[in-house]
Amino acid sequence: MNIIQGCVRYPPAPGGAETVVRAYSEGLLAKGHKIEVITTDLYTETPFVKKDMPTEVSGVPVSRHSAFTISGEAHYVLAPGMVTSFLTKKADIIHTHSYGYFQNHAAWIKEKFQSTPWVITPHFHPSWSMWGGAKRRTLRDFYDSKIGKSTMESADLITCVSNHEKEMLIKEIGLSEDNIKIIYNGINWMDWEDIPDKKKFRDKYPEISERFVIFAGRLATNKGIPDLIEAMSIGKSHKIDLVVMGADMGLGNDLDKIASSKGVKMHRLGHVNDEIYRSALSASELLVLPSEYEAFGIVLLEAAAAQTPVVATRVGGIPEAMSEGKNGLIVDYNNPKALSEAIFTILEDDSLKMEMGKSGREFSKDFSWTSIVNQLESEYFGLL
């Protein structure tokens, strides 16, 4: 098959959806399909940073088109070059990612004019969990009702990364469930077959305490990081550092001030390479994901594969990405006290921590990209 994957950003640009598109693309390429990615030259969206990035990543050709934005409350990424790119490239299947982005409308044009089967994976976030003020949410609600619903209904197949995401699309957008399939996110098990070497992270960051709790992900407003800082301060442990690792979406300085005011020893590392990332998860005592909303939460699987317990919030697809009570604990969102109790319950019980680590590693083995790509390929053949 000739398959086009369309997304707003692609690695080395960081992000969860970007990880999924790369896994799909490289997995399908390995199975003998012809793959091309159509994307933009954006490295990060907030802040809006464009970057010169490779036109081939691990054997996958990548067409990167100039991105523009409608600034302010109406922020929207435009990439007109995508339309021509979609229309001129041969494809048996087109598959776009991320609800509400320009690539979906470019794919809609190809589907309408050239009758190419079209799949969308929305990586959906409801309007109430997005960054921005009231005006932006009003614009998003307008988009959902007038544009988003009809766009999604034009696709031949919608794939969701969790059952919860499917439920949100039905509830928030008003879609029918008839055209929605669940294809979970996963991990490349070859990267985790051996538990990552902790020493690589230790050697690179010797200033970090031997014992630390980690957050890994974009530093965005819907990630609940201030709650995590508050939870660490409630625990009153001066022997546990907090490591915050991931691309800064503009919150870094504010988080530094909050941590300083709370007496929490926080290390903000920014985006790191894959080897250090895996080593960090392995070296940490605990991974915490205190988000307001997650469609799934791949980092939970990665921590589990590193044999590291997790604490997360009961939102979105998170309960489907971990095994509650077995490899970690789940608490309500925006409850620093409950979050602190869960964190220190695990930290203060070495036996529990060890049991949860082992349980998580077994749990993560069921989420291999290899089997997930096989499922995706089967859906493509079904459309053809």
Q: What is the pLDDT of residues 69-90, one digit of tens each?
A: 876 666 788 999 999 999 999 9
Architecture of domain 2-186+368-383: 3-Layer(aba) Sandwich (3.40)
In 10 A of CB 59, how many CB atoms?
10
Give the pLDDT of residue 81.
Answer: 95
Distance CA 287, CA 311 (A): 6
Distance CA 257, CA 276 (A): 26
Q: 13 near 19, Cβ under 8 Å? A: no
DSSP SS3 for 266: strand
Averaged pLDDT, 256-260: 96
Residue with tokens 């008003």: 174
Distance CA 360, CA 347 (A): 16
CATH 3.40.50.2000 positions along the chain are 2-186+368-383, 189-364
Q: What is the DSSP letter of 219?
A: B
The number of C-alpha atoms within 13 Å of 286 and in the hemisphere containing its C-beta is 30
Give the pLDDT of residue 74.
Answer: 63
pTM of the complete model? 0.86
**What b/e sequence results for 232-262 when a residue is b if at least 16 CB atoms lie within 10 Å of its CB, and e otherwise?**
bbbbebeebbbbbbbbbbebbeebeebbeeb
**What b/e sequence results for 94-111 when a residue is b if at least 16 CB atoms lie within 10 Å of its CB, and e otherwise?**
bbbbbbbbbbbbbbbebb
- Give the angle subtended at the CA of 192 by the CAs of 370 and 17, to the nearest 5°: 60
- For residue 198, pLDDT beyond 70: yes
pLDDT band for position 164 (50/70/90)? very high
Q: What is the DSSP letter of 72?
A: G
Digit-coded pLDDT (tens) for 145-157: 888 899 999 999 9
Digit-coded pLDDT (tens) for 293-328: 998 999 999 999 999 999 999 999 999 999 999 999
- For residue 232, pLDDT beyond 90: yes
Q: 106 near 89, Cβ under 8 Å? A: no
- For residue 211, pLDDT beyond 90: yes
Average pLDDT across the chain, whole number: 93
Give the pLDDT of residue 130.
Answer: 65
Digit-coded pLDDT (tens) for 90-143: 999 999 999 989 999 999 999 888 999 999 999 998 877 766 666 677 778 888
- The CATH homologous superfamily of the domain defined by 189-364: Glycogen Phosphorylase B; (3.40.50.2000)
Give the pLDDT of residue 71.
Answer: 67
Give the pLDDT of residue 15.
Answer: 85
Q: 124 near 100, Cβ under 8 Å? A: no
